[in-house]
Amino acid sequence: MVAADARGDRLRRAVQGYLDHLTIERGRSTNTVAAYRRDLDRYVAYLESLDLALEDVTTTVVEDYVTVVRTGSDGRSALAAGSAARSLAAVRGWHTFCVAEGLAPANPTAGVRPPSQGKRLPKAISTYDVERLLAAAGAGDTVASVRNRALLELLYSTGARISEAVTLDVDDLDLTPGLESVRLFGKGSKERVVPVGSFAVEAIQAYLVRARPVLMAAGRGTPAVFLNTRGARLSRQSAWQVLRTSAETAGLDGAEHISPHTLRHSFATHLLSGGADVRVVQELLGHASVTTTQLYTMVTADSLREVYVQSHPRALA
């Protein structure tokens, strides 16, 4: 019993040494250190339940611990995959520290992989909510609102990333009737040409004629399509705020969670729901792999199942 108590004391002293290291030498925040303490307290309790000393811990022990926190079989709350991965990161950091300090001969966490968090399905808003969002962006018919409507119309019409939209130059637009398109530069400067719908074309033309010259007069001249009130290129942060404010003005549910990527997700989901081929959507989005685009087909399939269950007379008993 004394030996077991001594092992437990040694484990806890090693944990405290690591937390002091995080606080003093690495300058981690109080909240971060507190989270590490909670994770390591649970881990040390697990090691004590197995009557293990620090040098007795093997890769299998750590792998079993990940299973324990995922299932809650130690009598504590079961953790979601993301939280379990965070807990494993704390355990890995502690073992690394123990090896560096000569407290243990090897790091048993080196080959342990965090639990899979699965693929997060993209979030999209309905076409009705898109219309409300766009109407809110253009409310007031001011220079700023004309610009804001054009920006959000373009994002939804093309599925452009926010970074692609704010780096657009006027020469990247082709508004020739019948050929309306925009040249976008995606990740790795990969170029693609995407058609622009009639509503977006109308909004962009109104902006170029009525609003952009006014904004440009305040600056020194720039080829950027979207300008701020100083006549300079609109920043990603400002474009993000345009969307956030428009969502709040429109009274959309979860407005605080709507981001520029929401319109990109909505663009893809609505195309697939309308019958577009996944390979075409892949090209429009600029995805290197169709696997990424196929996430949206999962969303569409879920929607189809929901409609089926609600509509078919023999879907439910």
Sign of the CA dihedral 48, 51, 57, 60? negative
From the candidates 42, 212, 265, 287, give the one annotated as an active-site residue: 287
Q: Which helix (H) or strand (E) holds 296?
A: helix 290-311
From the candidates 132, 147, 161, 270, give the one annotated as an active-site residue: 161
Verify whether residue 257 is a known catalytic residue: no
CA distance 240 to 248: 13
Bridge partners (DSSP) listed for residue 173 = 182
Task: Record the tokens describing residue 91, joined without a space.
Answer: 């355990």
Q: Do 25 and 15 touch, CB atoms closer than 8 A? A: no
Verify whether residue 190 is a known catalytic residue: no
Query: What does the angle CA 116 – CA 120 – CA 124 come to, to the nearest 5 degrees?
Result: 175
From the candidates 132, 264, 265, 270, give the one annotated as an active-site residue: 264
User: Which residue do the tokens 């909670």 mark?
Assistant: 38
Verify whether residue 312 is a known catalytic residue: no
From the candidates 38, 187, 190, 305, give the one annotated as an active-site residue: 187
Q: Do 162 and 261 touch, CB atoms closer than 8 A? A: yes
Q: Do 91 and 39 touch, CB atoms closer than 8 A? A: yes
Verify whether residue 192 is a known catalytic residue: no
CA distance 53 to 3: 10
Q: Do 107 and 95 touch, CB atoms closer than 8 A? A: yes
From the candidates 36, 43, 65, 296, give the one annotated as an active-site residue: 296
Contacts for 290 with CB less than 8 Å, ≥ 6 apart? 278, 279, 282
Contacts by 254-261 with C-beta closer than 8 Å and gap 24+? Answer: 257/123, 258/125, 258/133, 260/155, 260/161, 260/162, 260/165, 261/122, 261/161, 261/162
Q: Would you please indicate which residues are annotated as catalytic (active-site) residues?
A: 161, 187, 261, 264, 287, 296
